[in-house]
């Protein structure tokens, strides 16, 4: 089973800005969310904690790994979608026609950025390697986690626009006996106190 964890809040998240490869740290609330995540996994069997290389994910992963005496393994396949020239921009700054084109076409890429299909390919590769019968916590970002869900359900990337994934949430992907994957849970936030949900 892979427990995909979306990292805790950053100030860019709070401000409603796109956050791809820009390497923003956790906010104060994000650090509290990471601590709540660590507490929620404290009683679970965890064999590995794997993280995107971006510091907001690594810091979240470190809190979880510490409770289990584990080191954080960094895997580039878990990095957020590359927003290119749109990185750190407010959604309101993106031309409506460009935003509509992106939502309509999974092959679309922001200027200098990455297509959703590319995210799905690398996350599917990660899942194929990590669904080995052990319990893995993978700390990542909104687009890769949605891509893992699409891959598990066997649906196209356009479905990602119909998902809402909270910061510091947990989504679980399991392995079927035939070698495929299934969605066990999505967007769990019950581990977060009400004032840390956003």
For residue 7, indicate whether it is catalytic: yes
Q: pLDDT grade, residue 91 (50/70/90)?
A: confident
Domain span at 182: 2-196
Tell me how crowded residue 160 is: count the other CB atoms within 10 A of its CB. 22
- Pairing mode of beta strands 181-188, 170-175: antiparallel
The helix (run of H) or strand (run of E) holding residue 154 is none
User: 180: domain CATH number?
Assistant: 3.40.50.1240
Nearest to 14 by CA among 192, 143, 189, 168: 168
* Total domains present in the chain: 1
Q: What is the pLDDT of residues 142-172, one digit of tens each?
A: 999 999 999 999 999 989 999 999 999 999 9
Q: What is the pLDDT of residues 172-190, one digit of tens each?
A: 999 988 878 999 999 999 9
Contact 53, 141 (CB under 8 A): no
Paired residues of 185 in beta bridges: 172
Contact 195, 183 (CB under 8 A): no
Nearest to 144 by CA among 130, 29, 192, 71: 130
One of 80, 114, 141, 157 is an active-site residue; which one? 80
């Amino acid at each position: 089973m892979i427990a995909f964890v979306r990292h805790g809040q950053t100030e860019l998240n709070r401000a409603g800005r796109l956050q791809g490869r820009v390497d923003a740290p956790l906010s104060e609330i994000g650090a509290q969310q990471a601590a709540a995540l660590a507490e929620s996994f404290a009683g679970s069997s965890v064999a590995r904690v794997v993280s995107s290389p971006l510091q907001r994910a690594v810091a979240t992963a470190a809190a979880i790994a510490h409770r289990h005496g584990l080191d954080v393994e960094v895997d580039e396949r878990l990095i957020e979608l590359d927003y290119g020239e749109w990185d750190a921009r407010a959604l309101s700054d993106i031309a409506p026609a460009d935003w509509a084109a992106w939502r309509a076409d999974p092959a679309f890429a922001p200027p200098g950025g990455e297509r959703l299909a590319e995210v799905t390919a690398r996350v599917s590769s990660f899942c194929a390697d990590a669904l080995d019968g052990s319990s893995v916590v993978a700390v990542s970002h909104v687009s890769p986690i949605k891509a893992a869900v699409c891959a598990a359900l066997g649906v196209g990337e356009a479905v990602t626009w119909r998902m809402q994934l909270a910061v510091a949430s947990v989504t679980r992907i399991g392995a079927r006996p035939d070698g495929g994957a299934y969605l066990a849970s999505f967007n769990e936030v019950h581990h977060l106190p009400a004032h840390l949900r956003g």
